[in-house]
Structure 1
Amino acid sequence: MIVDPSVVLHDTVTAKLSGKDETKAKFFLGQKVKLLEDVKNDGTYPYLQIGEVMIQKGSIGYIRSVGDFLQVIRVYEVHFLDAEAVVEVIGCREHELEAMEPYRDLEAEEHAWMSEHYKNKS
């Protein structure tokens, strides 16, 4: 038997927030986050059995990039620095993460800085 029938997998892609995510991202690049639930291999990682824990709940990581799955589901690429983690970088949904520092609108900060820079230049 390849899969242990007692292992319950959780489909995090479609189980929660299956509709379109909000326009504005909840986390920003480089933001420190904590994982709210264990991430188990759903079969997409070839070096572990299906159902084995890849990254444990409570692990701390940093947002590395933000992308979209099927153009409606936001996925954050998170780099976990936990030495116990089997995989260091993994895609997570917003409901799987908790911010460990306040949100910063980096685009607004950059726009304000550039506006001030060009004002001082003239």
Structure 2
Amino acid sequence: MEAAGEEERDGLSVHSPGQALPSSASSLPKEQSQVELELRLLEALEIYPVVKLQGIHRHFVLYGLMEFLRRSFDRHFSPDEVLQLLDRFYNLETLKPDNEEGELLNQEDDFSLPQSFFGKEDS
């Protein structure tokens, strides 16, 4: 009876086609590379903080993250790939640039020196 208990669990036989044996040989490298990628991304965030993805430096920070990953894995990473990786750890919706920021940067004001700057010269 003991052998029957070992072979059957929850009404399924251990040899049942419904339960595939885990194939660690095929899934391990993929999982391991994903973990390695996430670890490298977290290392890069020590240098290029996510908070700066919100400000005027966001493109430089994203480029820095892309370059760090490229050097770590010797392959190209697109900005979308990096943002997808970051989205796993952070809510990137909160980092979207405000419209006000764009308006402030594009606002032009006339500049002129004050009249006091053009004081009378003693010759």
Fold equivalence (TM over 0.5): no
Bigger-Rg structure (1/2)? 2
Higher strand proportion: 1
Higher helix proportion: 2
TM-score normalized by the length of structure 2: 0.27
Which fold has the larger relative contact order, with Cα–Cα distance below 8 Å and residues 6 or more apart in sequence? 1
TM-score normalized by the length of structure 1: 0.28
